[in-house]
Chains A and B, each alone.
Chain A
Amino acid sequence: MNSLLLEARGLSKSYGSRGLRDRRTSTHAVDGVSLSLQTGTAHGLVGESGSGKSTLVRLLLALERPDRGSVRFDGIEISVLPAARLRPLRRRFQAVFQDPYASLNPHLKVGTIVAEPLAAHGISHGDGRRETVLQLLATVGLPATAAARRPDAFSGGERQRIAIARALATRPDLVVMDEPLSALDLPAQVRLIELLLRLRAERNLTLLIVAHDLAVVRSLCDTVSVMYAGRVVEEGPVEQVLGSPLHPFTAELLAAEPVADPNARPPRVATGPQTGVWPPGVCRFLPRCPLASDVCRREPDLVNSALDHRVACWHPG
């Protein structure tokens, strides 16, 4: 029933950088990642900072070119497309970023901000465009009077609604959200999740949601990929991956979730190094892994463990 909207195969991207010890190093931000998004589904991407989530998002949005691998959007290979050919496609995939204080131009009125993608893609003019902007504001639960005000008149949650209205302006098929809720407090998060669930149902939107808060993924997503050190270490339906995790890193993430219970153990604090360097060909989680054994000196591939549930670990479960 579902069709494949976005398909990434074997994406890799590395950046040259100068390390702390002034050594020239090359960091594999994303290393051999594949990902498929079906039309109308919501997929979560979780992992620590520095695990490559944001780089992967930039590759999927064709904001950067991969060193290796391909990205197909609705069957079209976009990772090699010249900018001019990419432009008309861009209206079909839009992004919402983490910080609604930084992503909205403080000098522009909200109406202008929401109309920007319409102008950029030459969609509608004059009264028609104004009408569209008001409709978009209404869709995200903001009053028409919001159009004449500037971002500083709005709270964090309202600003994120403005960013969502802007992303929806071109009627995209796919909206990618990088930590859309993490700058908001809990009541604002709850209201925004309600909005996203409604929009998803009404518009048959496909969502890719990057989050470090697992609760957000549980609330919004059907499937999830867990990233560690530039690779996907586990993926599958949310209930399976977050309900019965197979990879020790996923288990560690779940154990680190704070619980509102004074009798609960304090979140488990892992002792291994958090970022780092690993010898090539070795499982990257090895230095932190409680289950490590000799076989882990070979890097495991992502393989099916159950239907649709894949894990890259020699000792799953």
Chain B
Amino acid sequence: MPTADGVPILELHQLQIGAQGPDGSVRPLVDAVSLIIAAGERVALVGESGCGKTLTALASLGICSAPLLVSGGRVVVGGQDLASTSRTDLQRLRGGTVGLVFQEPAGALNPVFSVGFQLLEMIHSHSATSRRQAREERDELLARVGLVPAREVARAYPHQLSGGQLQRVMLAVALAGHPRLLIADEPTTALDLTTQARILGLIRSLSEEEGLALLLITHDIAVVAALVERIVVMHAGEIVEQAPTSDLLSLPLHPYTRELLAAVPRTAGRIPGPAGGTGPTRAVPQAELAVDGCRFADRCPLVQASCRRYHPSLEAVRVEHLVRCPVVVSKDKQ
């Protein structure tokens, strides 16, 4: 939430993203997503594959190419409406105001250039420094993400580094433009447990030191529990619940959020098997958003007849806790 002194760094207003078919019709994929991230705030966007979380992130950077298109709503980054931003300003914004880290660091780096060269490229494209200053900045960035000795790492090619080291390089690249918002899409999914813990710790300390706002995209709530202040849950293209992290984890309201949390098999031990029955077992419906009624109805344990007739709206049940489920909202009020 925007604070009195903090200007929001990212504002999504009723964002709609669709895929345009050959006949010109638009199939909606992301529907009326509104999300405001204050400067320095850390937010997670959680949901399963295909729920639209990555699309939402890409649209926040104005990256949405055919057949995808933003079919409605507004994206405002650092006070600037992306719809009225020129191409050159957009390029300055990507990697400048907003840094981006993807799931697969190996795929995001060019295999035929050294990582130091690619980092220099990024530094040059966002500031007009001399070559020597740029090299110093490069070494400084590598050291900040824990890659030492920086000179030696800079000479390495992507294939010579491990997944965890590459993700650190990607963080250095993302930081090179001095961003105010870092968008990280599944930054640790490809990494092992201990490396994941190290990278998340690094992201957290960078965000704290720099006052960097964070939008973390993940399917695994547990990964972000210790890292973000607010969690936004997406299902089938829309936000179904959002709340401060501790509220959402201690008192999840939407049946889908509960399902996601039940699927997390950490200290509880085993992933619920066929006998357990608490996990989601039915097939995920294909993202077909043009239906009346609640999109979760077919999988929902609390489903009522009215759920299939009216599309529920996102309602506040307490301060900063919104949920899209009339069944739990009416229960909560009692």
Show the binding face of A for B, using Cβ within 8 Å.
Answer: 20-21, 47-50, 155-156, 182-191, 193-194, 197-198, 212-216, 218-219, 252-253, 256-270, 274-275
Residue of A21, A216, A258, A264 with most chain B CB atoms under a 10 A cut-off: A258
Q: Known A186-B260, A194-B273, A258-B223; judge A49-B49 contact (CB<8 A).
A: no
For the complex, give the distance between the alpha carbons of A187 and B299 in Å.
Answer: 12
Which residues of A lie under 8 Å from residue B245 when comparing CB positions? 262
For the complex, give the distance between the alpha carbons of A262 and B245 in Å.
Answer: 7
Question: Can you give 21 A-B contacts (C-beta < 8 A)?
Answer: A47-B192, A50-B162, A156-B49, A185-B49, A188-B284, A189-B263, A191-B280, A194-B273, A212-B193, A215-B266, A215-B271, A253-B193, A253-B194, A256-B194, A256-B196, A260-B225, A260-B249, A262-B250, A263-B246, A265-B226, A269-B201
| B150 lies within 8 A of chain A by Cβ | no
Show the binding face of B for A, using Cβ within 8 Å.
Answer: 48-50, 152-153, 155-156, 160, 162-164, 189-198, 200-201, 204, 219-223, 225-227, 245-246, 249-250, 259-261, 263-267, 269-274, 279-281, 284
**Contact between A185 and B222, CB atoms less than 8 A apart:** no
Extra pairs beyond A187-B279, A187-B280, A264-B226 (12, CB < 8 Å) = A48-B192, A187-B259, A190-B281, A213-B193, A215-B270, A218-B270, A219-B271, A256-B193, A260-B225, A263-B246, A266-B204, A266-B227
CB distance from A114 to the nearest CB of B (A): 20
Q: Which of B50, B263, B281 contacts A186 (CB 8 A)?
A: B263
For the complex, give the distance between the alpha carbons of A267 and B188 in Å.
Answer: 13
**Contact between B201 and A260, CB atoms less than 8 A apart:** no
Chain A interface helix/strand/loop/mixed: loop
For the complex, give the distance between the alpha carbons of A264 and B264 in Å.
Answer: 15
Q: Residue of A at shortest CB range from B264?
A: A260
CB distance from A239 to the nearest CB of B (A): 9
For the complex, give the distance between the alpha carbons of A261 and B270 in Å.
Answer: 17
Closest 5 CB pairs of A and B: A185-B219, A267-B197, A212-B192, A266-B226, A219-B271
**Contact between B273 and A219, CB atoms less than 8 A apart:** yes
Which residues of A lie under 8 Å from residue B196 when comparing CB positions? 256, 258, 267
Q: Known A262-B249, A270-B194; judge A20-B273 contact (CB<8 A).
A: no
Which residues of A lie under 8 Å from residue B50 when comparing CB positions? 155
Which residues of B lie under 8 Å from residue A20 when comparing CB positions? 152-153, 155-156, 160
Q: Residue of B at shortest CB range from A192?
A: B271
Q: Which of A155, A187, A275 contacts B263 (CB 8 A)?
A: A187
**Contact between B156 and A218, CB atoms less than 8 A apart:** no
Q: Residue of B at shortest CB range from A260?
A: B222
For the complex, give the distance between the alpha carbons of A184 and B219 in Å.
Answer: 9
**Contact between A190 and B271, CB atoms less than 8 A apart:** yes
Q: Known A20-B152, A187-B279; judge A259-B194 contact (CB<8 A).
A: no
Which residues of B lie under 8 Å from residue A216 when comparing CB positions? 271
Q: Known A21-B152, A216-B271, A267-B200; judge A261-B225 contact (CB<8 A).
A: yes
Q: Which of A21, A197, A258 contacts B222 (CB 8 A)?
A: A258
**Contact between A186 and B197, CB atoms less than 8 A apart:** no
Which residues of A lie under 8 Å from residue B250 when comparing CB positions? 262
For the complex, give the distance between the alpha carbons of A265 and B226 in Å.
Answer: 7
**Contact between A190 and B280, CB atoms less than 8 A apart:** yes
Residue of A186, A215, A261, A262 with most chain B CB atoms under a 10 A cut-off: A186
Q: Known A215-B266, A260-B225; judge A190-B272 contact (CB<8 A).
A: yes
**Contact between A189 and B225, CB atoms less than 8 A apart:** no
**Contact between B160 and A187, CB atoms less than 8 A apart:** no
CB distance from A222 to the nearest CB of B (A): 12
Which residues of B lie under 8 Å from residue A256 when comparing CB positions? 193-194, 196-197
Q: Residue of B at shortest CB range from A181?
A: B271
Q: Known A182-B189, A263-B246; judge A155-B195 contact (CB<8 A).
A: no
Residue of B162, B249, B270 with most chain A CB atoms under a 10 A cut-off: B270
